[in-house]
Amino acid sequence: MTVIVPWGFEPPLYLVLTGKGVAKPQPVCPVAVLGCDLPAQTIPQSTCKLSWAKSYSPTGKKIKKGLFTLKGPNGLIAVVDPSTAVGESIMAFNAAGPYELCLDVWDEDNVQSCVPDCMKWLVIPTNALHIELVWDTPTDPDQNDSGPDTGADLDLHFANEFASTLDIDCDGSADPWFSNPWDTFWFNSAPNWGAPSLQGDNPTLDLDDTDGAGPENLNMVAPEGTAAEPMTYRLGVQYWDDHGFGASLATVKIYLYGTLVVKLQNKLNPIDMWYVGKINWPSKAIGGTQPLFGQCYQTGLSCVAKQNLMWQPAGERCVTPCYTNKLFNALANQAPICP
């Protein structure tokens, strides 16, 4: 920079002063190093131990803290604050789909890393049949928190064709829901339906979420049924308890050997029972005679003067309001809120 300064003579003299400014030194950013012992492609319910312990500062300052930010399928955004001094915590990848996890760190002078360190994963189910339920409850301000009564509770039901209880939905035949041991849900998460010596022909409900947005996952390695003797499974969703948060948008996904083949959404009110449809095994794609999935439609309320309005070729999705099965006593405490 050059400055011309007048000097006190007649005529005036001028001095030319030249100088160079020095910018204020900027702090050196620490470097985030994200650790996760999980391959880039994995299966649902995989977990990894997250770490920021290898993060460092080029100036030798200590790393004081780290923060993980996860973006996942179904609009999932979660922030994880490590709970131990060495910066380690466990991350679960429960739903199928893409994930991205980023790490930011701060040094002892509270200087944040300039660039986060990020890793990506693709979660793909590998079983023959994988069914996923997630839900969105708009009035819940934090659908990723956990604890008693902190979120809506929807339940996935997967029933054998032998399941039979009361005809509450009035479709003219006994309902499959809450039939023990033939309905797989939170109360009966790992039934033994098939050959006693085999495990792969039995369903397992691997995750039951009671306080948020899901997922709930059901898996079968080798479903029962052959081309000569096919099996028909029933798929349903019940809004078990809203914990005061109101209606939810339920999303059901069906994966066949890792490929998403069915995705359905339906708005549910508390204690609604959604008869999603029937799953045929084997399907046409793998040697059977029927399509994999048949959706349930109804032409009106399913209980109107005992008319058979369900299983129509088109219409609204099959939902029975205020579904309470007296044979399953755990639902009795919800009955008073029903009309």
Supply 54's token pair: 């290898």
Q: How far is CA 183 from CA 7, 143, 331, in A?
A: 99, 27, 15
84 pLDDT tier (thresholds 50, 70, 90): very low
pLDDT at 85: 43
By CB atoms closer than 10 A (0-12, 13-18, 19+), residue 155 is buried
Q: Is residue 333's pLDDT more than 70?
A: no
Determine the residue type at 319: V
Q: Pairing mode, if any, of strands 297-298 and 316-320?
A: antiparallel
Of 166, 318, 306, 172, nearest in space to 236 by CA: 318
Greatest Cα-to-Cα distance within the chain, rounded to the nearest angstrom: 118
How far apart are alpha carbons 295 and 312 in whole angstroms? 9
pLDDT at 329: 57
Least confident of 5-9, 20-24, 119-123: 5-9
Residue 318 or 7, more confident: 318
What count of other Cβ atoms lies within 10 Å of the Cβ of residue 78?
13
pLDDT at 26: 73
Ranges of each domain in the chain: 35-123, 129-337
How far apart are alpha carbons 2 and 184 in whole angstroms? 83
How far apart are alpha carbons 33 and 136 in whole angstroms? 33
Q: Does the model's pTM come out above 0.85?
A: no
66-81 pLDDT, tens digit per residue, is 888 888 887 776 776 6
Q: Is residue 254's pLDDT more than 70?
A: yes
Give the helix ranges, DSSP H, for 75-208: none
How far apart are alpha carbons 31 and 239 in whole angstroms? 46
Please compute the mean of the pLDDT values over residues 301-315 and round it to a whole number.
85
The rounded Cα 218 to chain-centroid distance in angstroms is 13
Q: Residues in the chain, how many?
A: 339
Supply 330's token pair: 């755990």
**Angle 239-243-244 from CA coordinates, rounded to 5°:** 105
The rounded Cα 295 to chain-centroid distance in angstroms is 23
Q: Is residue 7's pLDDT more than 70?
A: no
User: Which fold would CATH assign to domain 35-123?
Assistant: Immunoglobulin-like (2.60.40)
Of 331, 335, 154, 185, nearest in space to 248 by CA: 154
pLDDT at 82: 61
Q: Which range among 83-97, 138-152, 171-185, 191-205 has the greatest average pLDDT?
A: 171-185
How far apart are alpha carbons 130 and 261 in whole angstroms? 10
How far apart are alpha carbons 201 and 189 in whole angstroms? 14
